[in-house]
Amino acid sequence: MGDAINQAPVSVEQVVRELLQDEDELSEDLLRARNKADAKRLIQAEDQWLAASPLWKFKIDGLLEVPRGFVEAVDRISSTSNEYSDWPAILWGSVMLSIRELLRAKRFAAGEQFLDIMSQMSNSLPSENLSWTPQEELHIHQEVAQALEEFCSGYLRLALFTLHHPHSDIKEVIPPDTISFEVKEEASTRRLRSWCDRLRRYADMSSRGACTRQERPETSSKRIYRPIPVQISEFFQGRDDYLGGIRQGFVQCRDQPAVVSLYGLPGIGKTQLAARYCKEYQVDYDVVLWLKSDTDAKLRESCSNYAVNLSLARADPKGDGTMNCRALMAWLETTDHKWLIVFDNVDDPKVLIDFWPVIGRGNIIVTSRNPYTAESRAREVRFEVAPLDSEDSVLLFYKIIGYDKRSQHSQRMDSLLQDWRGVPLAIDQMGSLIRRRGLNLDKFVEIYSKHTARLLQEGNVYNDYSYSVATTFATQHLDRHGKALLQVMCFLDPDAIPGELIDLGVSRSEGLNGLHEIDYFDGLESLLQRSLIQKVDNTVSVHRLVQQVAYLEMGKETSCKVLDGVLNLLLEAYPRETDGQQMWKDWKMCETYLPHVMFASRRFGEFCPHDKSIYMFERGLHTDAETLLALAQRVCPDDSDSLVVATILFNLAGIRNETNRIPEARDLCLRSLEIRERLLARDDPLLRNTYYSMGIVYMEDNQLDKSLEYNLKSIQIRDTSGNEDAPGMAFAYGNLGLCYRRRGQLDEASQWMEKSEALWRKACGIESDKYAQYVKSGKSTRKSVIKLARLTEGRIAYYLGNLRLDQGRVAEARHFHSVSLNSFSKVAPDHFKTGLCHHKIATFLWREREFDEAVKHLKRAISLLERGFDPKPRLARSTFVLSQVLKEMGHEEEGEQKLAEAEALRRSIITLPTNSADSSPEAFESLIPYFLR
C-alpha cells in the first residue's frame, strides 16, 4: 500500500499480499483472492467470495454494481497508455482491508478509522496518468479523488450493513433499531451512483474537443478549481427539499447569473446547506468560489486570493488587492467557464456592491441572517431555512450520539428536543457533548436542568464552527433598542406575542423597559435583520433558544426591572371584571393574552392574576384557574384591605362550590364579603354579585333561610340603586329561583326563573336588539357575545328543566334540557357542563326505555367529565347511572362491573365526605352540587 501511495509501479499480487499480510485472522475466502493477477480476476474473486461466504449471502442494491461502474468510468477517462493500470487493485484492496477490519471489530467505529487512509490514497493517485488524453490541459485528478473518497465512505457503510444484517433484504421491513442503517445505505448508494454518472459524463465529453490556453488568455491551466473551505458535517440531516429548491432555482435562470438567497436564524444551518450543495453539485461547475462576506475586509481578501489562485493574467500575489478583485470580477463576467459563488454570512448587503458579477455563466448563493438582504439580492428565489422538523431533529440527535442510546429515550429528553426547536447547532452541540463525555441521557437531562447556561456556552470541539449556542445568540452585538425589546420578550410566551400589547407598552408615558414608540420600531428592525424574531402581520414570535439565551444573560436586577414593566403592562392590557359583569364578552382578548400571563407566572411564580382566573373559571379550566389563584394568594396573603384579595377569595369560592366542597366555599365567600362590605358602596354591582353567590353557597350548605336572605339582598341593591344592569339582574333572579326550588316553593321558583329568562332574552339573548347590533357590527367581540348569549340561555334552560321535572312537567323538562345541551355543545363542546347536559338527557332516555341512546349520552358525558377539574364525584355519579341502565338492558355482568367502578371512584374522593355503605341513587346524586344536578 505504501508503494501504491508513493506512486510506484506495483502488481495486483503485491498489493493484495501487503493488504492481507495478517493471514491467521482472515477467512479462507479472503485468502483465495490474494493470488489473482489482475483487477478483472480480483473482481471475479470478490464475486465468488461474496457468494460463498455465509456471512454475505444477500446483496444490497449497488454493493457490487457501484464499484464496477466506478472502475469502468475511470478506465474510460484514463489514458490508455497509463503504465499504472493496476490502480483498481488499490481500490479493491482498500475495500477488502476495510472489510477485514470490520470483521475483526464488528462496529462502525473501526471503519471510520480508514476513511482518512482512503482519502490519502485518492489524493495520492498519479494525476499525470489519470488525465484526459484528448484534453491535456483539463486534469480530472480532483474528480477521481473526490469520487474515490465518496465511494470508499459509502462502500464502508454498505459493508457494515451487510455485516450486521447478513440474512436481510434491504427492501424488506427492517426492525426499528436498524432503520438508521437503511437510511444511510440507500443514501450512500444514491451518492455513489451519482458519482459514476458524473464520471461517465466526463468520458462522453471526449468527442467534443477542448479549447486551448491560447483561446482563453485570461486563465491559466487551473481550469478546475473547487475548494470548499467549510467542513461539512458528517451528521448532515434532511434538507433535501432545500437542495432541490436551490437546484431548480438555478435551472430556471440561464440568461444571467442565477441567484438563490438562504436566510434564517443563526445556527439554523445556512452555511452547511450551501456547502452541501457545493459538494453534491460541484462537478457541474469549473470553478467554485467561497467568499466570507461578514465584513468588507474579509470579502476583499477572499476575492484577491482567488484571483491569485486561479492565476488570472492581471493577478499579482504581492500587488494591490483591489486590482486582484477587479481582475476576478472581469474574469467572472467574460469567461466561458461555469462558476459558482457563495457569499457566506452577509450581514450588510452594501458589502456586495463591488463584488457582484452582473453577467456571466454562473450561479450565486447568498447566506444571511437578514431577510432583507435575501430579498434585495434574490427577489425570485429565496428560502427561509426553517428549523428541522421533530422527526429530523430526533434522527440528527441519535445520529450524533449513537443509535444504541435510543433505548434511553424519555419524555424529559423529548421535552429538551422540543426546547431546542430544530436548531441544528443546538442539537449538534449537545449531542457532541453527550458523546465526548460518555453520558447516558438521564444523566445529561439532569445536568442540563442544573447547568443550562454553562452547557449552552460549550461549543463542539470537533467541527470548525467556533461559536456555541450562547455566543451565536448573544445580545452584545445588538443595539440598545433591540436588546431592550428582546429582554421584554423573555417574559412573554414566545410563540405569538401580539404587537398591540407592545404598542400599548411603548405608548405609555413611562414606556416599556426604556422603549418608546420610535425606539420600538428601531429595536424591531434590529431583531428582524438578524432573524432573531419573526413578524407576521402584527404578531411577533421569537425562537425559544434565542429567548433562553437572552434571559440567561440578564442579571437579577435587570430581570426584576423588566419583569415589573411586563407585569404592569399585562395588568393594564388584560380584560377586567367591571361592574359585576361576567367576562365572556372578552374571551377573544382573554385567549390572546392568557398564554403570556401563564408564561410570566411559570417564569417567576409571583404573578397575581386574579382577573385572568375568572376567564378560565368560566371556561371550565378550573385547574389552571386554581393554580393562578393560589399564586396570587402567596403574593398578597396579609393584605386584608385589598379588593384584589377579595376577588381572589371570591373566585376560589366559586371553584370550591362547583366541585361540591361547600364548607371551604362558604368560608372563602364570607372572607371576600367582609372585605367588599367594608370597601365598596352599598349599591356596587360587585357587592350584589357577592350576595347572590353567598345565597348559592348557603343553599348548597342547606342553610336555606340564610340563602333566601342573601338572594333578596342582592335584588334589593338593584331596586334601590336604579342601576340598569339587566344581565346581572337576570342572574340574581335565576339564583333566587334556585333557592325557592330548594325550599320546595316551586311556584315562587317558577316565577323568578321565568322572570330571569325573559329579562335575559330581552336584554342580551339571541333575539335581543343588543345581540343583533353586535352581529351586524363586525366587531372582534361579536363571537364572545354570541357565546355569552348561548351559554347563559343554556344555563337558564338547565335550571328551568330541573324545576319542570320537580313539577312533574316531564315533556317541558326534556325540552329545556335539550335546549341547554344544544347551547353548550355549540359554544363549549368540551366544557364539563356539556357533559352534565348529556348526563341529564340520558336520564330522560332511560325513563323512556331508549336504552341504547341513553348509554351513548352517558359515555359521552363520562368522556367530557374526565377532562374536568376534580372529576371523581361527577364521574362516580354518571358511571353509577350507566350501571343501572346496563342492568335494565339485561347486561348484568357489565352493569355490575360499572357499579364497582362507580363505588371505587366514590371511595377515592377525598375532597368531600361520602358514605360508601350507601349505594342508592340519592347517595350518588349528592356527590354533585344541587344547582348542577
The residue with cell 426499528 is 176
Q: Is residue 179 within 8 Å of 122, Cβ to Cβ? A: no
3-state secondary structure of 446: helix
What does the domain layout of the chain look like in residue ranges? 2-210, 240-384, 390-472, 858-933
Nearest-angstrom CA–CA distance, 99 and 106: 10
CA 623 remoteness from chain centre: 25
CA 717 remoteness from chain centre: 53
Among the listed residues 486, 472, 470, the one whose alpha carbon sits nearest the alpha carbon of residue 542: 486
- Residue 175 burial class via C-beta count within 10 angstroms: exposed 0-12, middle 13-18, buried 19 and up: exposed
Residues 514-550: tens digit of each pLDDT: 888 888 888 888 888 777 787 878 888 887 778 877 8
3-state secondary structure of 288: strand
Set of cell numbers at residue 88? 483498481
Residue 504 confidence class, pLDDT cut points 50, 70, 90: confident
In this prediction, residues 798-818 reach a mean pLDDT of: 93
Among the listed residues 147, 101, 148, 154, the one whose alpha carbon sits nearest the alpha carbon of residue 121: 148
Q: Alpha helix (H) ranges present in 176-295?
A: 179-204, 240-252, 270-281
> Of how many residues is the chain composed?
933
Q: What is the pLDDT of residue 375?
A: 64
Check residue 164 and report its DSSP letter: H
In this prediction, residues 720-742 reach a mean pLDDT of: 80
Set of cell numbers at residue 438? 460518555
Query: In whole angstroms, how far apart are CA 551 and each of 486, 496, 523?
Result: 9, 18, 17
Residues paired with residue 540 on neighbouring β-strands, in sequence order: 497, 535
Q: Is residue 622 within 8 Å of 616, Cβ to Cβ? A: yes
Residues 594-638: tens digit of each pLDDT: 778 767 766 654 434 444 444 444 444 445 445 544 544 544 444
Q: Which residues contact 423 (CB under 8 A, 6 or more apart)?
A: 265, 267, 268, 387, 388, 469, 543, 545
Q: Is residue 522 within 8 Å of 479, Cβ to Cβ? A: yes
Q: Is residue 56 within 8 Å of 34, Cβ to Cβ? A: no
Nearest-angstrom CA–CA distance, 569 and 611: 14
240-384 is classed CATH 3.40.50.300: yes
Nearest-angstrom CA–CA distance, 784 and 586: 6
Residue 737 confidence class, pLDDT cut points 50, 70, 90: very high
Q: What is the pLDDT of residue 14?
A: 44
Set of cell numbers at residue 741? 326550588
Q: Higher confidence at residue 928 or residue 651?
A: 928
Nearest-angstrom CA–CA distance, 587 and 593: 10
Q: Is residue 399 within 8 Å of 180, Cβ to Cβ? A: yes
Q: Is residue 844 within 8 Å of 817, Cβ to Cβ? A: yes
In this prediction, residues 571-579 reach a mean pLDDT of: 64
Nearest-angstrom CA–CA distance, 691 and 685: 10
Residue 849 confidence class, pLDDT cut points 50, 70, 90: very high
Considering the entire predicted model, what is its pTM?
Answer: 0.44
Q: Is residue 272 within 8 Å of 284, Cβ to Cβ? A: no
Check residue 128 and report its DSSP letter: G
Nearest-angstrom CA–CA distance, 44 and 37: 11
Q: Higher confidence at residue 639 or residue 903?
A: 903
In this prediction, residues 153-175 reach a mean pLDDT of: 43
Q: Is residue 658 within 8 Å of 871, Cβ to Cβ? A: no
**Three-class SS string for 303-320?**
HHHHHHHCCCCCCCCCCC
Set of cell numbers at residue 26? 482472515
- Residue 206 burial class via C-beta count within 10 angstroms: exposed 0-12, middle 13-18, buried 19 and up: middle
Would you say residue 665 has pLDDT above 80?
A: yes
CB atoms inside a 10 Å sphere around CB 86: 21
Q: What is the pLDDT of residue 75?
A: 52
Nearest-angstrom CA–CA distance, 266 and 370: 10
Nearest-angstrom CA–CA distance, 532 and 500: 20
In this prediction, residues 892-898 reach a mean pLDDT of: 93
Instruction: Determine the straight-line distance between the first and last CA of the chain, rounded to whole angstroms.
Output: 89
Among the listed residues 172, 147, 196, 151, the one whose alpha carbon sits nearest the alpha carbon of residue 60: 172
Q: Which residues contact 568 (CB under 8 A, 6 or more apart)?
A: none
Nearest-angstrom CA–CA distance, 707 and 692: 8
- % pLDDT > 90, the chain: 15
Side-chain half-sphere exposure of 665, counting CA atoms within 13 A: 24
Main-chain phi, psi angles of 123, to 5 degrees:
-75, -20
Q: Is residue 906 within 8 Å of 853, Cβ to Cβ? A: no
Among the listed residues 617, 654, 647, the one whose alpha carbon sits nearest the alpha carbon of residue 633: 647
What's the Rg (C-alpha) of the chain? 38
Query: In whole angstroms, how far apart are CA 725 and each of 228, 689, 883?
Result: 75, 12, 46
Q: Is residue 150 within 8 Å of 191, Cβ to Cβ? A: yes
Check residue 539 and report its DSSP letter: E
Would you say residue 59 has pLDDT above 50?
A: no
In this prediction, residues 229-255 reach a mean pLDDT of: 74
Check residue 386 and report its DSSP letter: P
Per-chain mean pLDDT for the chain: 70
Q: Which residues contact 536 (CB under 8 A, 6 or more apart)?
A: none
The residue with cell 312533574 is 808
Q: Is residue 676 within 8 Å of 717, Cβ to Cβ? A: no
The residue with cell 368540551 is 830
Nearest-angstrom CA–CA distance, 840 and 835: 9
Nearest-angstrom CA–CA distance, 68 and 60: 14
Set of cell numbers at residue 470? 450562547
3-state secondary structure of 512: strand
In this prediction, residues 655-659 reach a mean pLDDT of: 82
In this prediction, residues 729-746 reach a mean pLDDT of: 90
In this prediction, residues 897-912 reach a mean pLDDT of: 89
The residue with cell 343554556 is 794
Lowest-pLDDT range of 174-178, 242-246, 370-374, 470-474: 174-178
Residue 439 confidence class, pLDDT cut points 50, 70, 90: confident
Nearest-angstrom CA–CA distance, 788 and 782: 10
Among the listed residues 230, 227, 549, the one whose alpha carbon sits nearest the alpha carbon of residue 367: 230
Q: Is residue 369 within 8 Å of 263, Cβ to Cβ? A: yes
Q: Is residue 288 within 8 Å of 282, Cβ to Cβ? A: yes
Among the listed residues 479, 464, 472, 471, the one whose alpha carbon sits nearest the alpha carbon of residue 521: 479
Residues paired with residue 342 on neighbouring β-strands, in sequence order: 290, 365
Nearest-angstrom CA–CA distance, 740 and 732: 13
Set of cell numbers at residue 589? 382578548
Residue 179 confidence class, pLDDT cut points 50, 70, 90: very low
Angle among Cα 485, 486, 489 to the nearest 5 degrees reads 95
Q: What is the pLDDT of residue 462?
A: 47
Q: Which residues contact 340 (CB under 8 A, 6 or more apart)?
A: 278, 281, 282, 285, 287, 288, 289, 362, 363, 364, 365
In this prediction, residues 886-892 reach a mean pLDDT of: 93
Q: What is the pLDDT of residue 566?
A: 82
CB atoms inside a 10 Å sphere around CB 879: 23
